[in-house]
Amino acid sequence: MNTQTEVVFDPQLIRRFDVNGPRYTSYPTADRFVEAFDAEALKSWLAKRAIGGASKPLSLYFHIPFCNTICYYCACNKIITKDHGRSAKYLAYLDKEIELQVAALGGSRQVTQLHLGGGTPTFLSHDEMRQLMDSVRSRFNLVANGEYSIEVDPRKVDFETVSLLAELGFNRMSVGVQDFNHDVQVAVNRVQSIEETKLVMDAARATGFKSISMDLIYGLPKQNVISFNRTLEQVLDLSPDRISLYSYAHLPGLFKPQRRINSIELPSGDTKLQILQLAIRRLTEAGYVYIGMDHFAKPDDELTVAQRQGRLHRNFQGYSTQAECDLLAFGVSAIGKIGPVYSQNVKTLDEYYDALDRDELPVLRGIELTADDLLRRSIIQALMCHFELSIESVEIAHLIQFPEYFAEELDDLREMAKAGLVKVEDDCITVLPAGRLLVRGIAMVFDRYLRADRERARYSKVI
C-alpha cells in the first residue's frame, strides 16, 4: 500500500479542480437512495445475515438529535430544546426500534464498534445514558476491546459525566471546538472556553479514554489567518489524538440556522485557502499524519496504523478501522448498512414515532447495490482511504477488464494526470501529494451517478 503521508498544497491546482462533490461516506451517496426500499426490504436483509453461518460483526450508530442551543453553522439533523421530557420519550421509542431490528436480525450479535452522534448525545441525563446503554447491552454482545465513541459538547459536560461515560464503556471521544477565537464563537453562537475544553479532555485521559478527537472548522465568519494560527497553537497545546478540519459550506438556502450568519463576515476564498494551508503546515510540522480529506492523526493512532497496513475504511462516521462490520443505525435520519444495502430512517420525530406506533421499522429510503455499485464503491474506498488503487486486485475481485470497463473514466483522469494530481499506470492509479487534498474530486470520476447527473450544486465544495 501507498505509505507516503506527504501532502502538497498548490493554490492554483486547488482553484482549478475545487468542484462541488460528495464526501463519500457511502457510495452510492444518500441522495441516490430510493423510497421503494422500505421497512420490509430492511427486515429481509437483516434476516439474511444468518445465511451461510458466518456473519460479520456489528457496528451500532445512535442518533440523538437534541441540542440545548443552536450553532449557526450546523447542518446536522437536530432539534433545539431545553425540555428534557422530549429525550425521555425519544429513548422509549429508540428502545422499541432496537427491539424491532433485533427481532428481524439474523446472525451474530457481536458488536465491535458503537457511536453516539447528534445533535448532542450528552444532552441525555446520566440516568438516560445508563438506560440507553442497558438497552443496548441487553440485546447485543459488546466485545471487551471494541471502539465505543461519543460526540461531546464541552460546554455541557463535567468530570462526573466523563467518568460515567467511561464506566458505561465509552473509550473514544469526539470534542466539538470549531475555533477558540471569541469573536468567531460569538458570530456562530457557540461560545466555549479553552478551560471548558481542557477540563473535558483531561477528564477523558484520567478515566481511561483511548483516543480524543477534536473538530475544527475553517471558513467561519470573522476568521483570519492570524486568529486561526492562535487557535492552532491552543489545539496543539491540548494535543488531541485526532483532528478533523472541516471546510464550512455556507448553504443558507438548505440549512436554516446558517441564515443567521452575516455572509459579509465570511473570509474570502483566498483567505480560506490560506487558513487551510496554514493548518496543514502547522499540524504536519507538529507530527500529525494527514489521513485524507479533512482528517489528521498522531503517528501511533489506530487510524494511522490502519492506513499504513491497508485496513483503513470509510463509513458514515468518517474514517474508521472497522471495515468488515454491518452497521445498524437507530434514531431519526440514521443511516445503516447491511451487506450490499443501505437504509435511512425518517427525518422527523413525528414520522419516527408514527412508524414505531405501527410496529414498523421507521425506514424512509434505501438502496440495494448492483454489481457496478459494489465495484465503484471499492474503487472510491481505495482512493479515499489509501490514495492508491491496484487495478489487478479490482479486476480479480470483480471479474472485469479495467481499461475497457473504465475507458471514459481513464480519459477523464488524463487532465488530472497532466496537472500532477494522479499517476495512472497499467497496474495502478496513485493519488500524488498534490492531489491528496482533492481526492474527493478524483473519486468523483468513478461515480456513475454523477456522470449521468452533472448537477452538483447540492454538494459542498471539495475544499
Distance from C-alpha of 442 to C-alpha of 412, rounded to nearest angstrom: 9
- Which among 329, 359, 386 is the end of a domain? 329
**pLDDT tier at 318 (50, 70, 90 boundaries)?**
confident
Same domain flag for 239 and 291: yes
DSSP 315-329: ETTEEES-TT-EEEE
* pLDDT single digits (tens) 191-212: 999 999 999 999 999 999 999 9
Residue 341 in domain: no
- Which among 278, 300, 329 is the end of a domain? 329
Residue 218 pairs with which residues in a beta bridge?
247
Whether 3 has a pLDDT exceeding 50, the answer reads no
DSSP tally for the chain: helices H, then strands E? 17, 19
The amino acid sitting at 78 is: K
What pTM, to 2 d.p., does this model score?
A: 0.92
119 is in an annotated binding site: yes
Residue 354 in domain: no
74 is in an annotated binding site: yes
Same domain flag for 405 and 320: no
215 is in an annotated binding site: yes
In this prediction, what percent of the chain has a pLDDT beyond 90?
Answer: 78
428 is in an annotated binding site: no
Distance from C-alpha of 17 to C-alpha of 277, rounded to nearest angstrom: 16
**pLDDT tier at 1 (50, 70, 90 boundaries)?**
very low
425 is in an annotated binding site: no
Residue with cell 478540519: 245
71 is in an annotated binding site: yes
Residue 376 in domain: yes
Same domain flag for 167 and 251: yes
404 is in an annotated binding site: no
- Which among 329, 357, 378 is the end of a domain? 329
Same domain flag for 108 and 166: yes
Q: Note the pLDDT of residue 2.
A: 41
Same domain flag for 156 and 62: yes
Per the structure, how many domains does the chain have? 2
Q: Note the pLDDT of residue 293.
A: 81
**DSSP classification of residue 267:** P
Same domain flag for 23 and 34: no
Q: Which residues contact 419 (CB under 8 A, 6 or more apart)?
A: 13, 16, 17, 434
DSSP-derived pairing of the beta strands 110-118 and 141-152 = parallel
Whether 105 has a pLDDT exceeding 50, the answer reads yes
Same domain flag for 199 and 277: yes
Same domain flag for 302 and 190: yes
67 is in an annotated binding site: yes
CB-based contact 438:447 (threshold 8 Å):
no
Same domain flag for 4 and 55: no
Q: What is the CA radius of gyration of the chain?
A: 22
Mean pLDDT for all residues in the chain:
92
Helix (H/G/I), strand (E/B), else coil: 63 = strand
DSSP-derived pairing of the beta strands 428-431 and 172-178 = unpaired
365 is in an annotated binding site: no
CB-based contact 221:261 (threshold 8 Å):
yes
**pLDDT tier at 237 (50, 70, 90 boundaries)?**
very high
73 is in an annotated binding site: yes
Residue 94 in domain: yes
309 is in an annotated binding site: no
Residue with cell 461519543: 150
Residue 36 in domain: yes
Whether 398 has a pLDDT exceeding 70, the answer reads yes
61 is in an annotated binding site: yes
**pLDDT tier at 406 (50, 70, 90 boundaries)?**
very high
CATH of residue 308's domain is 3.80.30.20
Same domain flag for 74 and 24: no
What is the domain extent for residue 429? 1-28+370-463
Residue 351 in domain: no
Residue 58 in domain: yes
178 is in an annotated binding site: yes
Task: Give the CA distances from residue 262 to residues 122, 258, 259, 266, 267, in Å, rounded to whole numbers and listed in that order.
Answer: 29, 9, 8, 7, 11
Same domain flag for 184 and 256: yes
CATH of residue 392's domain is 1.10.10.920
286 is in an annotated binding site: no
DSSP 136-170: HHTTSEEEEEEEEEEEE-GGG--HHHHHHHHHTT-
Segment 308-321 shows an average pLDDT of 84
**DSSP classification of residue 223:** -
**DSSP classification of residue 207:** T
76 is in an annotated binding site: no
Same domain flag for 19 and 68: no
Residue 449 in domain: yes
Segment 266-286 shows an average pLDDT of 93
Q: Note the pLDDT of residue 317.
A: 75
